[in-house]
Copies of this chain bind each other. A is one copy, B any other.
Amino acid sequence: MQPSVVSNVDDPALVEMRRSQFVKAAGELFARKGYHKTTIREITQGAGLSTGLIYSYVRSKEDVLFLVLENVLTSYLHEIPLALENADGPVERFCATVRAYCRVIGDKPHATLLAYRETKSLNPEYQAVIKRMELETNRLIIDRIEECLAAGYFRPVNIELLTYRIVLLAHGWALKAWRLQQFVTLEDYIEEGLDLFLNALMTPAGWSHYQQPERRTGTK
């Protein structure tokens, strides 16, 4: 991994610690007020440190935004795979991943919103890094789909497109949570969404191997 954001300070543990302080404060402020309306002073004050110090750990305000977004994406990359630990078959693993993705986003929808809103405020290089990380996250889903296809449990599909449909299922909650929350819980939103996909995707072989959970809406 490239040392995308450079620091004046040598001690890596200190760098790590200070950055996480700034990123935490900045994340909250950016989510609430937006990147441009947040000042460096607010960030450093929020972190309980002095104004100038942040420039020992970051070259510019833009770096801070990048670190915040990188942080969000990295957490996805770390947390989603944990869901596979207790999942057995290919379909179960697919479902577990979708649920994990949705829950991770449902857990901090503001972070995802922030990514949608402010990624464009980054320079092209940083944007590219963020996009690359999104693609890495997508891979978590793609791999599950391919497992299901390999097992003959899913019909042939455009894998990339299906992946994005699932990404949009997850992100959709963050994007429209302000309204969706009024008439559905996150868990119901997930299950109904999964149901939709499984019904369209699963082969008979798939169904026979898949232990469906109780609640199902559009059974065939």
In chain A, positions 65-98 with a C-beta closer than 8 Å to chain B are none
Q: Tell me whether A36 is interfacial, beta carbon within 8 Å.
A: yes
Number of copies: 4
- A167 vs B36: C-alpha distance when bound (angstroms): 29
Stretch at the interface among A20-28, A139-147, A175-183, A206-214: A175-183
A175 touches B171 (CB 8 A): yes
Which listed residue (B117, B175, B199) contacts A168, Cβ 8 A?
A: B175
A7 CB to nearest B CB, Å: 15
- A218 vs B183: C-alpha distance when bound (angstroms): 29
Closest to A193 in B: B165
Q: Tell me whether A50 is interfacial, beta carbon within 8 Å.
A: no
How many residues of chain A have a CB within 8 Å of chain B?
Answer: 38
B180 touches A176 (CB 8 A): no
Which listed residue (B131, B158, B178, B180) contacts A161, Cβ 8 A?
A: B180
Q: Tell me whether A172 is interfacial, beta carbon within 8 Å.
A: yes
Kindly list chain B residues whose C-beta atoms are within 8 Å of the C-beta of A160.
179, 182-184
Which listed residue (B121, B158, B169, B171) contacts A34, Cβ 8 A?
A: B121
Query: 20 A-B contacts, Cβ less than 8 Å apart?
Result: A37-B121, A116-B116, A116-B175, A155-B218, A158-B183, A158-B192, A160-B184, A161-B183, A161-B189, A161-B192, A164-B179, A168-B176, A171-B175, A172-B172, A175-B175, A196-B196, A196-B200, A199-B199, A200-B218, A201-B218
List A residues at the B interface (Cβ < 8 Å).
Answer: 34, 36-37, 116-118, 120-121, 131, 155, 158, 160-161, 164-165, 167-169, 171-172, 175-176, 178-180, 182-184, 189, 192-193, 195-197, 199-201, 218
The 8 closest A-B pairs by CB, nearest first: A36-B36, A168-B172, A200-B218, A160-B183, A117-B117, A196-B200, A161-B184, A164-B176
